[in-house]
A and B are shown apart, each in its own frame.
Chain A
Amino acid sequence: MNSLIFPLFLLLVTALPAVAAEKDDCLSCHREKTPGAVRIWEGSAHAGAKVGCIACHGSDHEKIVKGEARVTAAVCGKCHKKALGEHTASRHGMGLHSGWGCTRNLGGRDKRECSFCHEEGSALPRSTVHCARFLKQSSQMGEAGCNRCHSVESSCASCHSSHATDLKIVRNPASCAKCHMGPDHPQWEMWQTTQHGTLYASQGEATGPSCQTCHMPAGSHDVTRGITTTQAGTAIAPENARTERSAMLKVCTKCHAEGFSRRELEQGDAIRDQSQALVKEAEEIIRDLYRRGLLDPMPEERPDHPLSGKKLVLDSQMLYEDTSHIERLFFKMKKYDFAKTFKGAYHQNPAYTHWYGNAELKMDLVDIKAEASRLKARKNPPAGKGQAARSVSEEVEENLRLLKREMEDGVLTPEEYARRKAQELERIR
């Protein structure tokens, strides 16, 4: 239980009160400058335990004012070791692992964004996981739109708030909703509108399970426990899946029979895999168009992908900007509708599973197939529709591009690729 009493003396307020117990004089000024922060701290467990301003913020006032004395999770972890360990091992613990690829050479950058990836004074990135979508944003959007959620990795205040220690705050599912809502993963909405959410709203925590009940049982900070799906929506390795499934069943069986619980979760697995197959079908349609040079625009005609340059990217680094229309349809299908379908199933929400998820997913596939047909017809109109005759050179170039992409996609062996290229080049002698 002690581990739940998490330190809440974190960043955000740049000029914070110091503590009488530490013989500093922060409070004398900050009662006037930031009275709200002082009042919240005075009501916290930290104040009771005589953990004052300097303990978390340090004593370099100038640094604090400049925003250079952030109260990171590492600061909290000095006292809350177990919580920090669990947090770090979980997906929340890699929330800020975005942004590899230095932005300093991009035009119009804000120097403050260096702190997204670097410790003060260090040129070494503190993160090795990349996020192309982050790198495409302005520094303002990166901060307000990306890091405000992804800073959960290094900021306990992301959930706990800055100066309060009341666990009511973090036990309220609304604290999860800040990030776990919206089109890409609406777990909060789908939980609210299930029987679990209804019971929570009408009967309270004792009867209605919340996000924390299932995903942070017994105050654990390992939010990944019990989840058998990767962030990309594929099944994790079977040996790991067995362990995680057991962990989730322990939670479920506090209220439900094991057989029922297992069947429900396995149903979620099946829906995930069925939905994944639809996504793969759509992906293959786009890859085929790419190989034929039919995407509009093709990757080589767009601004560089921040991590992959001129390559077609359909994996988790897929962009929603500077792509072709069909890729934008695919983005919605994979990132929004696929996620709603299988997460809806795991959260036992029929509307999300079916109408917001499955139906949209299948309509996306219809749209993608229609767009693919349009692109093919545009490139090769029926005879007599007035397409200008192409030169041999243009035909050879198009075929060379197709062969190259087939080679890159593993459709052709290197030997077959060389042979087919030689045939094409023979045509322009």
Chain B
Amino acid sequence: MLERLISRYNGRLFTGLLLFALTGCGHLQVSGSLAVTAAPTRLAAIDRGAPVALDPAKRLLAFGRNGLRLLDRTTGSETLLSDAAPTALAWNPTGSRLAAAFGHGGSSRMILYGPDGTEASKTDVPGSVCAISWITGDDLLFAALETKPFSFGTDRREMLYRWNGSGTPIATLLGTTNVKPLTRSLFPWIVSSGLQLAVSPLGDEILYARFFDPPAFQPYFRIILRNLATGQEREIASISLDGGRAIFVDAETVLYGNGVEATYLVDPWESREIASFPLPGRTLAVSVRRIALDDRLFENNVEIAVFPGGSILGFAADGSGALILHKDTVYLLDGLAEQPRAPQLKPDSRQKLLQLRQWRSEGLITPGEYREMKERILTQ
């Protein structure tokens, strides 16, 4: 469906656009047909640029404002969980745990909270945590940057941690780069952020941005697809430091914005471009039915909403709501009709599929062989 959406979109940019102001949305100016059936509600004020996370039930919103706060939408009560500003937030798929990362001296502290705001566990890791992603209900990944300054540049180490809430997180070095002094002066944020992380719907592969700062060339990121079991990696694309991103659309397809002028939907294993969008793709999100590209929302091939410039969009876990961050406010566009997700694979089929994906990552089978085997497994 998404492919159909995109192919039509290419020829029908801005089709069906309606412009109007939404009432009851805290002055968020939104244009597009979506507003006929749904209107955003203001949820909370946040520190500009602070992370937010909505639990799967859309009841609890965690966000950064003078610390970490938890808003219960049903009661309107707001609880201060921590005085420290979070650097990343993520709810687990069941809503039983909120993972929050905080700066803690020269390192970071990762804390798991229960839905009532109680601390369940915590751990410290070196560096600065930039992104968190849950694999299962009790197994999460987070990405952290470690830096060490030298007179001739700054060593920037991209680390991946896997943690189940107890013991010491398992660390994996993803990449290391020496940031040239000139690069650091032009892009000072590069030593504390810029490490993005996305996990595939099957939980077996990640996308991350590895930084490169070659001599005599401009610095850039490479989007890398990594199989967690084998550690094998595949370069998907190069993106600029202007803010490109990459996410999984489904287990086989990646959407990435180059941060400048275009966003691409690709099959990363066959290096095949499925579609492109004339938008930089600095923020991306997908649900089964919709896609959010920068400040625009699409559904069934049609751009259904344009939010004010600079808005950042995200989806609730089941796709029935969209979070909109604009300046220092977060809104919820609720009541979106969503298609059901594909039924879960039988454990045996899932195991076979994960095995095939590992073999594909190691080059033991070709993408074509994988595709053929996958079809057979799914039709069994």
Contacts and interface: CB of A to CB of B under 8 A. Distances in A.
Q: Do A and B interact?
A: yes
Nearest to A428: B352
Given A104-B215, A421-B369, A428 B355 contact: yes
A400 B364 contact: yes
Interface in A378-429: 393, 397, 400-401, 404, 421-422, 425, 428-429
Interface stretch (B147-155, B261-269, B302-310, B337-345): B147-155
B355 A393 contact: yes
A169 interface: no
Residue from the set B177, B215, B373, B376 with the largest chain A CB neighbour count within 10 Å: B215
A105 B359 contact: no
A107 interface: yes
A124 B364 CA distance: 37
- DSSP majority for the B interface? mixed
A102 interface: yes
A429 B215 CA distance: 49
Contact of A397 (B150, B151, B359): B359
B21 to A, nearest CB: 51
Contacts of A404: 363-364
Interface residues of A, number: 20
A393 B52 CA distance: 42
Interface in B342-366: 352, 355, 359, 362-365
B178 A104 contact: yes
Interface in B237-253: none
Interface residues of B, number: 23
B176 interface: yes
A401 B369 CA distance: 15
A66 interface: no
Contact of A123 (B152, B177, B215): B215
A339 B213 CA distance: 42
A111 B365 contact: no
A397 B155 contact: no
Contacts, number: 43
Contacts of A425: 365, 369, 373
Contact of B215 (A102, A107, A400, A422): A102
Nearest to B351: A393
Interface string A102-126: 1011110101000000000001100
A107 B175 CA distance: 11
Interface string B143-181: 000000011110101000000000000000000111000
Interface in B215-237: 215-216
Contacts of A124: 216
A111 B215 contact: no
Nearest to B359: A400
Contact of B376 (A401, A421, A429): A429
Nearest to B364: A400
Nearest to A408: B363
B355 A107 contact: no
Interface string B362-380: 1111000100010011001
A104 B176 CA distance: 10
B352 A400 contact: no
Given A105-B177, A109-B178, A124-B216, 11 more contacts: A106-B176, A107-B157, A111-B152, A300-B362, A404-B363, A422-B369, A425-B369, A428-B352, A428-B355, A428-B373, A429-B373
The 4 closest A-B pairs by CB, nearest first: A123-B215, A111-B152, A400-B364, A123-B216
9 contacts: A105-B176, A107-B176, A109-B178, A124-B216, A397-B364, A404-B364, A428-B355, A428-B373, A429-B377
